[in-house]
Amino acid sequence: MPNLKAHYFNLANLVVVVTLLLFFGCASIQTPQGGPKDNKPPKVLSMTPKNQTRNFNAKKIIIEFDEYFNIKDEFKEFSISPDQEKLPVLKKRQKRLEIALQDSLEKNTTYTLNFGKSIADVNEGNVVKNLSYVFSTGPEIDSLSISGKVINSLSDEPEKEVTVFILPLERDTIFGKKRPSIYTTTDSAGTYKLNNLRKGTYKVYAVKESSGGGDKIYQQISDEIGFIKEPVVIDKNLENINLQIFKELAPEFRVLDRKLNNDGSISIILNQQLKSPKITVTDPPAVDVGKFVHFTKNNDTAKIWLKDLSFDSVKLAIQDQGKVLQTLNFTKGRKDTYTRDVTIADNLSGGKLNPYQQLTLIFPFPITGGDPSKIILLEDSVKRTNFELVKDSVDFLKYYIKYPWKNKKSYDIKLGAGAFTAIFNAKNKDVNKKFTLESPDAYTTLIYNVTVPDTSKSYVVQFLNEKKDIVKAFSISKNSKITFSKYPAGKYMLRVVYDDNKNGVWDTGSVKGGYQPEKVWYLKALMDLKPNWEREDALVIPPPPNK
């Protein structure tokens, strides 16, 4: 008699094995663990019909890749030119992309399908950049092209990942409203090229979208823009059609953020720099008396301290050059409580004081008084009393301790509790500050004898650090001698602004106004200024660059 139990056991095992084989055979492809990270995008193996097909009459296009892929942001990235009312439908089939044409095609017309950044591999999201498919319904394919470079108008550096697009002159009204259909993206060198263009007159733009964008529609509030002012006639291959991108000024004044802080102060962030700002309490008017208002250097952020917080609500008016721009209302609860911690920052760097500066104390609140009797200054552990405590004449957040600081001496300043009294009688806690004086030998001097190209124009010569922050600037309009002295030794850059409106600063451009940003020129060599060093050089400013 057969062993039914053993037979059943073998059959059960067979079912388990088959199930496991089917499971692993159908399992999704996973990224292998370990090994180098895949940074290559999918590669096109074939296109059917072939790219650049003439006398095209197919209803479907198939693109085969060497790996699995995803379709990302199709409605932002994919376009067809000329535009069609019914857009093609994109579908993925394993490693194939199928594009089904939904609309009729015009006769003797070149079409370009631009995939933008819509195709990326499954595992790492590596994007196939600037993928396109071109065909013609007639015997000829449009073959004109336009190419150039995109740079940042102020840094003079090439800009990558910028969308460059052209609009037929008769369709320029869609700028900033609809997505362009003829576009490409700059590479790491800032270069771009648009191919398979038909003869015509176009407007040329470049847009660098902020994070969260990607629809290729210019948003003035957040994006950077570049443009060629005059229409460009494409009747041959064009090269060196270069663009400078810049951030436009906000077209209309707006308050970006406003809040009543937990210390009782009011913070306001604006969308533009004001020229001559003023903030007034209009209701109740009595609260305006004795207030403190502090604007940042750029006049685009303000902080207000009111001495009287007994109000339930308050109305502020923001003015610029005597004109009221906006009024703001703030309300608070009757039981609101506030905390004020009078911290003390300073201008020390790495425990050293600049020998050409006094010790600067910086506070988070307006200081109404300082008591030098609660300050102890030790020089090499010896108490000194011949220091002076001085309040800044303009900035109510700053005090200075003036003293004949000496090189090779160690200093210890003890700021006792209550040495400084802030608004609402808030006082500081005990603070110690230890430092030495930086040797003057660590500083440098550079003198330039500057020759300008046109004495009827104005120029701003700017010394920049390696981050391209402005360290010192000189406005000149004639051949001059400028001295960059008493600055720490290190590496610096020199930039010249061609100051067209003679206001002493670099000014941006405007698409609507039709003007470009003020041009800049960089001295290409990085200046390595040595310690305890003085040097005199000639600086010949060239005519404005033709960018």
pLDDT digits (tens, 9 = 90+) for 413-440: 999 999 999 999 999 999 999 999 999 9
Same domain flag for 365 and 401: yes
3-state secondary structure of 231: coil
Contacts of 381 (CB under 8 A, 6+ apart): 410, 412
pLDDT digits (tens, 9 = 90+) for 521-545: 999 888 999 999 999 999 999 999 8
User: Does residue 451 lie within any of the structural domains?
Assistant: yes
Same domain flag for 151 and 132: no
Domain boundary residue among 438, 461, 491? 438
| Closest to 97 in 3D by CA, of 76, 72, 80 | 72
Contacts of 39 (CB under 8 A, 6+ apart): 124, 126
pLDDT digits (tens, 9 = 90+) for 259-271: 999 999 999 999 9
User: Does residue 25 lie within any of the structural domains?
Assistant: no
Asked whether the beta carbons of 142 and 235 are under 8 A apart, the reply is no
Intervals of the chain under pLDDT 50: 1-9, 11, 14-32
Same domain flag for 353 and 420: yes
User: Does residue 410 lie within any of the structural domains?
Assistant: yes
Residue 275 β-bridge partners: none
Order the strands of the 352-353 sheet from edge to edge: 352-353, 431-437, 410-415, 375-379, 382-384
Domain boundary residue among 405, 421, 438? 438
User: Does residue 233 lie within any of the structural domains?
Assistant: yes
Work out the number of other CB atoms within 10 angstroms of the CB of residue 43. 11
Same domain flag for 148 and 210: yes
Same domain flag for 427 and 457: no
Domain that holds residue 459: 442-540
Reading phi first (left if > 0) and then psi (alpha if -120 to 50, else beta), residue 299 is in left
Same domain flag for 163 and 237: yes
Domain boundary residue among 278, 309, 331? 331
Same domain flag for 191 and 234: yes
- How many independent structural domains does the chain possess? 5
Same domain flag for 277 and 292: yes
Give me the CATH number covering residue 98.
2.60.40.1220
User: Does residue 3 lie within any of the structural domains?
Assistant: no
Q: What is the pLDDT of residue 212?
A: 65
- Residue ranges of alpha helices (H) inside 270-325 are none
User: Does residue 312 lie within any of the structural domains?
Assistant: yes
Q: What is the pLDDT of residue 206?
A: 98
Q: What is the pLDDT of residue 140?
A: 96
Instruction: Tell me the CA end-to-end span of the chain in Å, nearest whole number.
Output: 97
Report cis status (omega within 30 of 0) of the bond before 364.
Answer: no
Work out the number of other CB atoms within 10 angstroms of the CB of residue 7. 10
Give me the CATH number covering residue 210.
2.60.40.10
Q: What is the pLDDT of residue 10?
A: 52
Same domain flag for 362 and 307: no
User: Does residue 518 lie within any of the structural domains?
Assistant: yes
Same domain flag for 133 and 114: yes
User: Does residue 240 lie within any of the structural domains?
Assistant: yes
Same domain flag for 307 and 382: no
Residue 90 β-bridge partners: 99
Q: What is the pLDDT of residue 35?
A: 58
Same domain flag for 89 and 152: no
